[in-house]
Chains A and B, each alone.
Chain A
Amino acid sequence: MSEIADAFVTALKLIFTGDAEVLSITARTMAISGSSILIGALICIPLGSLIYFHDFRGKRILVNLIQTFFTLPTVFVGLLVFITFSRAGPLGGLGILFTPTAMIIGQAILIAPIITGLTISALSGVSPEIRETAVSLGATRFQTIGMILREARYAVVAALLLGFGRAFSEVGCAIMVGGNIKGATEVLTTAMALEASQGNIELAMALGIILIALALVVSVLANRLQQRWVR
């Protein structure tokens, strides 16, 4: 028990003294997951809107499928990206395996269903009267869509935050396509796993505390946004 307590105290010291390694791993994690969220948002918010505003055969099935992929196993995505970018794979020539780029791509794929699906439910949450009101005030089809998106903005941002949370807290994909290379592709989760296995409990603990703190901040923000949206 005292070992854990000691590790905890040392971990806090590492964080608050601004340990270089801890800081750089944290910064890299934010950069990689942040980029994946940005790419995810650019593709998936328009994609979710496209699905929501169009009626087509199999729409329900598609939406159900997207929701199923919310819990896509991270190692499975890792495997797909690994195969794609490995030397013998279809995009092996790019040589991006075991680089942050591959990790960003992997995480973007991982969170794509979450952002797309939650964008669709955010838009469905806007009451149909909003659409009618915009139309009755003389809005064109595009202006109406713009207004509905605007009404759903808090819920959409909450969706991005949830996606961000999933991206930085996953380990399977990051380790498979990133390789946990010190100083290059090491992120909070993968570094934690490695340090712990090497007996550096204090460092692992410090990284863990940061991870939890990040998750907490994201969850509080997402919650507040969702409440604002409901009200």
Chain B
Amino acid sequence: MIAVRSLCKRYGDKEILKDIDFDVQRGEVFAVIGPTGTGKTTLLRIIDLLERPTSGAVYIDGLDTSASERVRLDMRRRIGVVFQKPVVFNASVYDNVAYGLKIRGEGKARLHQRVKSALEMVDLSGYEDRRARTLSGGEVQRVALARAIVIEPEVLLLDEPSANLDPVSTAHVEEVISRIIRELNTTVVMATHDMSQGQRLADRIGVLMDGEILQAGEPREVFNYPTSRKIAEFVAMENIIEGVISSSREGVVSIEVGGKVIEGISSFDPGEEVCACIRAEDITLALSKTPSSARNAFLGQIIRVVSIGPLTRVEVDCGFPLVALVTKKSAEELDLQSGKDVYASFKATGVHIIKSKGD
């Protein structure tokens, strides 16, 4: 549906996007995630044909979008977009949502029916006559969503759909978006700096950092197997431990970390400097050394215990720092508190090893 090829965008000397390549299939939800200020908005604006790239191209349905304004208008009319800070027209909610249909010359009866169902979709039924400028941030966001979906776009672009909202409004907007994705089966490209939002909504994720897509894949894959330290940090990998490969045998490597050895699965050669990435929820804590399949077990002292909702985050010093996430129940059973000695164990398969330097 959408093909982005060798896309570059430069403003003066500043290179915003460098050689971006990706495809989005029809009906797919693709999330571009990355920290703020990495070019996500620029990328979406180019796909929305509001800006032209410095070089490279965007194809929609195989058609090159770098065409005349006339052709670009026709293409733009197949795309709906919700900006990060949407503005509403100084008119009623109904007129705001109806605008896209009016300028397409839609008949009155059908227009009315489509506006009605779009408002229903975003939970704004009954808001028709309200002045759009008097609505709250979350409501404005939903008006913008209704305004975008009412034209039944083939592609829906969402730029940080909930970045400026409070948690309750964010949850509501997200619920509306997932309903739209489910029921309309539109192709969606969304930009978000919120890793977990990308995980919740997207079929595939592309990590955009410093103007480049560093990794693309299913959310689970990006989340568990980041290909670089930068990505690992962005996807909130709690344990990123630096060390040197000391030996390698049949795919199992030993990583020396300050006198201790962590085992993992990888094809790195001895002598290479690496990072061992371990998700906090993959680490088990016990009071005594239990025989288990976990290859890695370290005795350490608890430094800090913090509860986060239904989970408890435990920081352990095993000669190197480790962060583990355990359920509140098991934290209580083990009576975890700072100063106490515990065994932290994790499987070799739970260790994702990446190069420590470079991308």
A129-B83, A150-B89, A151-B89 known; A137 vs B50 contact (CB < 8 Å): no
Decide if B352 is an interface residue (CB 8 Å cutoff): no
A143-B103, A147-B89, A151-B90 known; A136 vs B73 contact (CB < 8 Å): no
Q: Specify the main secondary structure of chain A where it touches its partner.
A: helix
Decide if A135 is an interface residue (CB 8 Å cutoff): yes
| Inter-chain contact A138/B89, CB cutoff 8 Å | no
| Inter-chain contact A130/B76, CB cutoff 8 Å | no
Decide if A60 is an interface residue (CB 8 Å cutoff): no
Decide if A68 is an interface residue (CB 8 Å cutoff): no
Decide if B48 is an interface residue (CB 8 Å cutoff): yes
Decide if A231 is an interface residue (CB 8 Å cutoff): yes
Looking across the interface, which residue of chain B has its beta carbon closest to that of A153?
B90
| Inter-chain contact B147/A129, CB cutoff 8 Å | no
| Inter-chain contact B87/A137, CB cutoff 8 Å | no
Decide if B122 is an interface residue (CB 8 Å cutoff): no
* Chain A residues whose C-beta falls within 8 Å of the C-beta of B86 in the assembled complex: 133
A129-B87, A151-B90, A231-B133 known; A137 vs B73 contact (CB < 8 Å): no
* Chain A residues whose C-beta falls within 8 Å of the C-beta of B133 in the assembled complex: 231
Decide if B100 is an interface residue (CB 8 Å cutoff): yes
Decide if A221 is an interface residue (CB 8 Å cutoff): no
A138-B103, A138-B104 known; A133 vs B87 contact (CB < 8 Å): yes
Decide if B195 is an interface residue (CB 8 Å cutoff): no
Looking at the assembled complex, report how far the CB atom of B87 sits from the nearest CB atom of chain A, in whole angstroms.
4
Looking at the assembled complex, report how far the CB atom of A53 sits from the nearest CB atom of chain B, in whole angstroms.
16
* Chain A residues whose C-beta falls within 8 Å of the C-beta of B234 in the assembled complex: none
Decide if B325 is an interface residue (CB 8 Å cutoff): no
Looking across the interface, which residue of chain B has its beta carbon closest to that of A132?
B50
Interface size range on B against A: 20 to 34
Contacts of B40-87 to chain A: CB distance below 8 A: 48, 50, 73, 76-77, 79-81, 83, 85-87
Decide if A140 is an interface residue (CB 8 Å cutoff): yes
Decide if B99 is an interface residue (CB 8 Å cutoff): yes
Q: How far is the CA of A139 from the CA of B101 in the complex (A)?
A: 10
Decide if A127 is an interface residue (CB 8 Å cutoff): yes
* Chain A residues whose C-beta falls within 8 Å of the C-beta of B277 in the assembled complex: none
Q: How far is the CA of A130 from the CA of B83 in the complex (A)?
A: 11
Decide if B207 is an interface residue (CB 8 Å cutoff): no
| Inter-chain contact B89/A136, CB cutoff 8 Å | no
| Inter-chain contact B50/A136, CB cutoff 8 Å | yes
A147-B89, A151-B89 known; A136 vs B48 contact (CB < 8 Å): yes
List residues of chain A with CB under 8 Å of any chain B CB. Answer: 127, 129-130, 132-140, 143, 147, 150-151, 154, 229, 231
List residues of chain B with CB under 8 Å of any chain A CB. Answer: 48, 50, 73, 76-77, 79-81, 83, 85-87, 89-91, 99-100, 103-104, 133, 147-148, 151
